[in-house]
């Protein structure tokens, strides 16, 4: 029983840490979005309201490609 309680506390702590990390991430994304020019905000809003999943996939691919090319340029492949 003691082990089960300890495990439950461990899971609760991990859930709380995850919630805090997600809140921080949401705040960072909101700050980034707020700093965008209105034209870019409108474009993202349109893409996400019409093709949300595909937009996420395309942004992920573009960001990954950019990161890989930046590392190659800096000799960190």
* 27 and 15 inside one domain: yes
Q: What is the mean pLDDT, run by run of 10 residues, along the chain of 77 residues? A: 85 96 98 98 97 97 95 81
Q: Give the range of the structural domain holding residue 12, as residue numbers without chain letter.
A: 1-35
The pTM of this model reads 0.74
Q: Same domain, yes or no, for 13 and 46?
A: no
| Angle of CA points 68, 23, 47, to nearest 5° | 55
Alpha carbon 14 to its chain's center: 19
First to last CA, the chain: 50
3-state helix, strand, coil in the chain (%, to 5): 90, 0, 10
- Are 14 and 50 contained in the same domain? no
Same-domain check for residues 65 and 30:
no
């Amino acid at each position: 029983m003691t082990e089960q309680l300890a495990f439950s506390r461990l899971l609760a702590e991990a859930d709380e840490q995850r919630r805090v990390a997600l809140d921080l991430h949401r705040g960072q994304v909101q700050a980034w979005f707020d700093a965008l020019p209105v034209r870019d905000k409108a474009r993202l809003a349109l893409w996400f309201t019409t093709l949300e999943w595909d937009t996420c996939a395309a942004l992920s691919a573009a960001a990954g490609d950019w990161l890989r090319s930046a590392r190659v340029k800096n000799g960190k492949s």
